[in-house]
Amino acid sequence: MKRAPAPRRTTVGSTVARARTALGQPTAVLGAGTLLVLAVLVVAPLLGLVNTTLTAGNREAWTDVFASPMSENLLWRPMGNSVLMGVATAAGSTVIGGFLAWVVVMTRLPGRGILGLLATIPFALPSFALALAWESVFRNDLIGGSTGILMNLGIPVPDWLAWGPVPIAATLTAHYFSLSFMLVAAALASVNGDLMEAAELTGAPTMRVARDIALPVVAPAMVSGALLAFAEGVSNFVTPALLGLPVRFHTLSTRLYGAISTGDVSRGYVLSIVLILVAAMIMYASTRITGGRRSFATITGKGGRRRGVDLGPWARPVAAVAWLLVTCTTVVPGLVLVFSSLTLRTNDFSSGLTLHYWIGGSDPALAQGQRGILNNPQILQATWNTVLLGVCVAICAGVLGLLVSYVITRSGGPRWLTGTMGVLSFVPFLIPGIALGAAFIAQFGAPIGPIPSLYGTFAILVLAGIAATIPFAVRSGTSALGQVSKDVEESAVMAGAGLFRRIGSVIAPLTARGLFTGGVLVFVQMVRDLSLVVLLATPAMPVLAVLTYQYSSENFTQSANAVTVVIAVISVAATIIARRFEGAAQPWNSNS
Amino acid sequence: MRFSRMLSASVALPLAVSLAACGGGAPQTPAADGGADPHELDDATHEELVELATEEGEVTVYSFTSRIASVEEAFEAEYPGIDLIGHDISSSEQITRLRSESQAGTPSADVAYISDAPVVITELVAGGILQNYVPPRVAETVPEEYRQPLLANRLSTKVLMYNEEAHPDGSPVGNLWQLTEEEWNGRVVMVDPAVRGDYLDLVAEIVRQSEAMAQAHLDHFGTEVVLDDGVENAGQQFVKDLYGNGLVLVDDTDNVNAAVGAAGQDDPPVGFTSYSDRRDNEEEGWALQASLGTAPSPGITFPAYIGMVRDSDSPAAARLVADFLMGDDSETGGPAFDPFYVPGDYPVRTDMAAPGGAVSLDELGAWDISPEETAQIRDDVADFLLTL
């Protein structure tokens, strides 16, 4: 291992002296420390990616992508489609997620607790479940085989409704509005009751209060949610592959996965770099437009209880819309998933139902003798591993996320630094999981100094997991922190509390709700994500997502769906448990 | 200001370290040292292998098929002292994984049971990551092309399939060029070759067989094929016409099977998929049948390779697994080969009988891909597809 020589400075002495002074400041230590962690977890894999595309023999991938007869189909059109899907997903998710969050947190509609729980589920469902649900309703005879419910009822379904951008944007939105919902709900829940009450006392109508007081206050959370939804929408592979390919609708992600899986790795990496750049630009533009500086501190030292908004005559229509939304995005796909694990024949709901794929013994006539999943000791082992992994990553990423977002929003560091950290903490989203996994093997597979090779250990999974989920942790940390008034922290400073004491005893408890939300997002992401762990999961340590993938690649669709149901149940359970903790952590905020 | 200076210094070091540590994803193996040097155990007798393998105690197998689970049971019944750990990992992921592991110097598998021949041969075998081992016991009975550069134990297929319920008198497609005509407009289904490697191999083979495609054009239309601008040969012209005729691309083999095979369709499409998926007809309610007699060929056969991972921990047990995967010396390969003895798959050993319930390899008439030659044109074909 070679180390690059230290950067030469003419005034080495003074630099060292300055550094020493700076090190005395805890904020600087924190900034340097988090930046270093980000460098190892994010920058290094990224450089590995870039590096690969610059080695001899791989360099022409750049010209192939940008300046060849293929560019049109490989880059430009897919890029347009990706941006379109990303923007549509972000817009749809913000509207739906924001609306549901408002209904759940701010109104007094009956059953809003259940509504809130159901709204968090779509994110825990695999994207193919939603695409499959769409198909089971709208599929027409373009491909052949069986058709969806509408066609079977004799209602013709045009291609644009069955395939391509419209269904893709709709299913992606149905999948990712949960992100916006969770972030916005957490933000709304912490809106100071005094503000609302004051507004109401002045006689402002309910809707006006919502628009002028609540909306600006939750703006950071909405932007965060929109950005996450955008990134997810841009990088999702399964949905455009399932619903787009039949009409040859390609996105950067389908092109990227295609290139990697057909052996043209460097071209795939170039596309993923393009994806990262495009998304970074959009992110930059969006923070400029929405005014990244403008944040509203809502958690101050004092605060009153909040009453729910009375909707009056609007109660019924609003409730109807809210229930319709969660029914279409949670109940229907959930049922499709459960039922398709019970069908005797793959996705053929008329073939009869069986519990074989859940509890059956080995029967050579079905799925080549695979046992029902609850009868399979491997599943138990995998379930334990998965939960452990999710918890470890959620805790580590949560702590890191809080620290990074503290540096970004509070350290008063130079703009380039906070900007860089903001972008860095977003980038892992856009690195295809499988490439991130390969980069981690390359980086930590060999011993580095005193650190032994991590390949095949649980540690490397956790590290990669943290890297991959930093975006969730930092975004939710930022939106939670954005609401904590500086007054609170300043009073702690006056009281003589040091930086880490402040973070531990003041910031963390105050932002607990947002942090729990982030933790749940990270946990769910880890539990269901496949592409990252597929290379890193040690052969001796199965995780559920990998098992799902193995089942489905062998066409044991029912078993795959059954395992997916297990994943969804774990995710939902985590959400419910986290809520309990939230309640305990923020007793002053319980508004019942 | 002070803050930012200090930070730029503190960033420089970890970056430099990571740069050195992270070589990226390209293979960095020493040039073509693999394959050439025989391993010291290559000539060991079966008894010697068993003895050494029992000392090694366990052997890890990456397999592109879940049937490795059945192999595991059979293997451990035969060799109780050796623990076979089988992992079901798709070929493209095996390739990425083996490459990354080799780069990091931490091979975790001993054996790779893998398809995706063109990439395996030109990258893993040429790069020395996988080494060849032909058990002396079967050397005589395996044709040369399946012994070198890597041992295969069976052939799989990607061929044109049709719905035999809708067409009880045989395939409706006698010549591939029919698929470019109005009758089949929008009714040919296949997995997008830009997304899946084995379908790219199929298209590459059609292009490689351009002469046969030109002859088939003449037979079908009675005229020589006319090439469009930018089209180099009859194979490419066929692919272009097929795409132009509303070829339906999907993401997954199962989608093709369901579209083509689902019973009760008046006018089902045809599509390219695996002959052996016919075995699921009863379970899934399909009526899939291979399009026999289609000129010039219904599709391709490709090998399932057994490779020895370089510098693995259990080289003896790995060789024992290779020996086991080739089947015993009975006609059906015995319990070792049983998981692979299905109609539509073809054992390579000349002393084994093809499984019943499917036509013989000769009768099927599929093109057998040539990994090296396919690898040469594969990227160009992929590029060509991207211009359509």
Selecting from B22, B260, B285 the residue whose C-beta is nearest the C-beta of A47 gives: B22
Confidence class for position B336, pLDDT limits 50, 70, 90: confident
Q: Could you read off the pLDDT of A449-483 as tens digits, one per residue?
A: 777 777 767 888 898 899 988 888 887 888 777 77
The full set of domains in chain A, from first to last, is 25-58+358-585 (1.10.3720.10), 72-353 (1.10.3720.10)
- List CB contacts of A359: < 8 A, sequence separation 6 or more: A372, A374, A375
CB of A50 closer than 8 Å to CB of A431: no
Confidence class for position A589, pLDDT limits 50, 70, 90: very low
Which amino acid type is present at position A36? L
Interfacial B residues in 335-374 facing A (CB < 8 Å)? none
The residue that leads in pLDDT, B223 or A375, is B223
CB spacing of B23 vs A258 below 8 angstroms: no
Which of the given ranges, A19-23, A234-238, A467-471, has the highest pLDDT on average? Answer: A467-471
Q: Could you read off the pLDDT of A250-279 as tens digits, one per residue?
A: 988 888 878 877 777 788 888 888 887 887
Judged against a pLDDT cut of 60, whether residue A300 lies above it is answered with no
Minimum mean pLDDT range among A53-67, B67-81, B355-369: A53-67
**Average pLDDT of the residues in A219-229:** 83
Query: Shortest Cα distance from B357 to chain A (angstroms)?
Result: 16
CB spacing of A55 vs B24 below 8 angstroms: yes
CB spacing of A145 vs B258 below 8 angstroms: yes
The residue that leads in pLDDT, A552 or A95, is A95
The residue that leads in pLDDT, A336 or B170, is B170
CB of B195 closer than 8 Å to CB of A263: no
Judged against a pLDDT cut of 50, whether residue B12 lies above it is answered with no
Judged against a pLDDT cut of 60, whether residue A590 lies above it is answered with no
Confidence class for position A493, pLDDT limits 50, 70, 90: confident
CB of B129 closer than 8 Å to CB of B114: no
Q: Quick one: tokens of B130?
A: 């996988």
Judged against a pLDDT cut of 70, whether residue B282 lies above it is answered with yes
Selecting from B18, B118, B187 the residue whose C-beta is nearest the C-beta of A44 gives: B18
CB spacing of B262 vs A455 below 8 angstroms: no
Return the closest-CA partner of residue B64 out of B83, B82, B87, B36: B87
Interfacial A residues in 235-254 facing B (CB < 8 Å)? 238, 241-242, 245-246, 248, 250, 254
Angle at A362 between CA A356 and CA A366, to 5 degrees: 60
User: Residue B113: beta bridge partners?
Assistant: B63, B306
Interfacial B residues in 184-243 facing A (CB < 8 Å)? 186-187, 189, 192-197, 200, 230
Residue showing tokens 């420089």: B12
Give the pLDDT score at B107. Answer: 83
CB of B64 closer than 8 Å to CB of B91: yes
- List CB contacts of B76: < 8 A, sequence separation 6 or more: B82, B83, B84
Residues of B in contact with A448 (CB under 8 A): 17, 21
Strands (E), chain B: 58-63, 83-88, 111-114, 130-131, 151-163, 188-191, 248-250, 270-273, 288-290, 299-309, 346-347, 367-368
CB spacing of A539 vs B259 below 8 angstroms: no
Gap between the Cα atoms of A107 and B176, Å rounded: 64
Q: Report yes or no: B58 at the A interface, CB cutoff 8 Å.
A: no
Minimum mean pLDDT range among A321-325, A330-334, B118-122, B177-181: A330-334
**Averaged pLDDT of chain A:** 77
Which of the given ranges, A315-324, B64-73, B207-216, has the highest pLDDT on average? Answer: B207-216
Interfacial A residues in 316-375 facing B (CB < 8 Å)? 345-348, 351, 365-366, 368-370
Give the pLDDT score at B6. Answer: 38
For the entire predicted model, the pTM comes to 0.78
Gap between the Cα atoms of A77 and A87, Å rounded: 15
**Average pLDDT of the residues in B251-262:** 86
Three-state DSSP state, B85: strand
Selecting from B13, B260, B383 the residue whose C-beta is nearest the C-beta of A70 gives: B383
Residues of A in contact with B261 (CB under 8 A): 145
CB spacing of A144 vs B22 below 8 angstroms: no
CB of A231 closer than 8 Å to CB of A252: no
CB of A53 closer than 8 Å to CB of A269: yes
Q: Which residue in A54, A261, A273, A454 has the most chain B C-beta atoms within 10 A of its own C-beta, making it the best mutation to test that interface? A: A261
Q: Could you read off the pLDDT of A144-153 as tens digits, one per residue?
A: 777 777 887 8
Q: Could you read off the pLDDT of B208-225 as tens digits, one per residue?
A: 999 999 999 999 999 999
CB of A538 closer than 8 Å to CB of B101: no
Angle at B54 between CA B53 and CA B56, to 5 degrees: 60
Closest chain B CA to residue A163: B250
Query: Shortest Cα distance from B139 to chain A (angstroms)?
Result: 31
Confidence class for position A294, pLDDT limits 50, 70, 90: very low
Return the closest-CA partner of residue B15 out of A461, A42, A435: A42
**Average pLDDT of the residues in B114-132:** 91
Burial of B16: CB neighbours in 10 Å, binned 0-12, 13-18, 19+? middle
Give the pLDDT score at B238. Answer: 95
Q: Report yes or no: A117 at the B interface, CB cutoff 8 Å.
A: no
**Averaged pLDDT of chain B:** 85
Give the pLDDT score at B18. Answer: 37
Selecting from A58, A143, A554 the residue whose C-beta is nearest the C-beta of B259 gives: A143
Query: Shortest Cα distance from A46 to chain B (angstroms)?
Result: 9
The residue that leads in pLDDT, A253 or B20, is A253
Give the pLDDT score at A168. Answer: 93
Give the pLDDT score at B22. Answer: 39
Q: Could you read off the pLDDT of A418-438 as tens digits, one per residue?
A: 778 888 887 887 776 767 777
Query: Shortest Cα distance from B15 to chain A (angstroms)?
Result: 7
Give the pLDDT score at A307. Answer: 58
CB spacing of A47 vs B19 below 8 angstroms: yes
Give the pLDDT score at B143. Answer: 92
CB spacing of B285 vs A348 below 8 angstroms: yes
Residues of A in contact with B196 (CB under 8 A): 258, 261-262
Q: Could you read off the pLDDT of A153-174 as tens digits, one per residue?
A: 888 888 899 899 999 999 999 9
CB spacing of B22 vs A417 below 8 angstroms: no
**Average pLDDT of the residues in B164-177:** 93
Judged against a pLDDT cut of 60, whether residue B136 lies above it is answered with yes
Give the pLDDT score at B1. Answer: 36
Residues of B in contact with A3 (CB under 8 A): 13, 16-17, 20
Helix segments in A59-164, DSSP class H: 60-66, 71, 77-106, 112-124, 127-138, 149-152, 159-162
Give the pLDDT score at A550. Answer: 67
In chain A, the percentage of residues whose pLDDT exceeds 90 is 8
What was the ipTM of the complex prediction? 0.74
Residues of A in contact with B188 (CB under 8 A): none
The full set of domains in chain B, from first to last, is 29-155+302-359 (3.40.190.10), 156-301+379-387 (3.40.190.10)
- List CB contacts of A265: < 8 A, sequence separation 6 or more: A52, A259, B25, B26, B96
CB spacing of A47 vs B18 below 8 angstroms: yes
Confidence class for position A592, pLDDT limits 50, 70, 90: very low
Return the closest-CA partner of residue B202 out of B381, B388, B63, B47: B381
Q: Which residue in B243, B386, B388 has the most chain A C-beta atoms within 10 A of its own C-beta, making it the best mutation to test that interface? A: B386
Q: Report yes or no: A419 at the B interface, CB cutoff 8 Å.
A: no
Give the pLDDT score at B314. Answer: 92
The residue that leads in pLDDT, B197 or B328, is B328
The residue that leads in pLDDT, A447 or B114, is B114
Give the pLDDT score at B130. Answer: 95
Return the closest-CA partner of residue B283 out of A316, A366, A582, A199: A366
Minimum mean pLDDT range among A363-372, B33-42, B109-118, B332-341: A363-372
Give the pLDDT score at A347. Answer: 60
- The neighbour count for residue A576, using CB atoms within 10 Å, is 12
CB of A527 closer than 8 Å to CB of A544: yes
